[in-house]
Chain A
């Protein structure tokens, strides 16, 4: 069973990646652009993933369908 800790854990990984990218971006005129882009992308993707994951963590409803056929 997944848990809230997974979300925290992935969050820490993303933060670590972000920190690493902060120091890894080469100096130059695109440094600010690269840093902000990488950090924002990480944040956006992490948020989206976390929301999707959390929404399915403790589902309140169960998928239901009425078009299943018998297996042969």
Chain B
């Protein structure tokens, strides 16, 4: 069992269906990709589905080759429609929900609008026997999730649109290349307060690989998901995913 508090495991262990939600720009996709790689490295058979129907750029599909090279299955709209801004939901997604295997990670779009796609899959979710978690990614340095009430309000919007309940939090406190350990600690403080206010566990803190081994990060007291950035602007290269453990 994952959770924030006494006896919490240091490693992230997930199974069944894990839906990743959050506000625009919270880092859902980067978290979903790295979570898939992390769980794959720990021996799970992992499927990832890109359900982002609202974001035109920087989607899971940009990392499709890197994921497939590792043996991680990724469910996408048909190749010819990958660059469209149309609400295309691959029919295989409903099948994946019914038969998620060891772990199926669903990367939804941002805010309540992006989570609406989950309501369209309500029939498939009803038949699920596997464990189902919906984890909300929070970056406290984004303008509308900088306080506990705003994070809770975002959760309400997502739950209302998706007809599913958020079951845990993932902290993703960063300012891109300008992130310091202080930012991660500040973010962790807010996530702890959020976990207390909501009664839901803090599943992990996502931390860029350049900072993940810092002592101050390792002693935060919650599992750390190392982020190797995949969604980068054209003057940068994605970090290689192969040695992710």
A and B co-occur in one complex: no
Name B residues whose Cβ lies closer than 8 Å to a Cβ of A: none
Name A residues whose Cβ lies closer than 8 Å to a Cβ of B: none
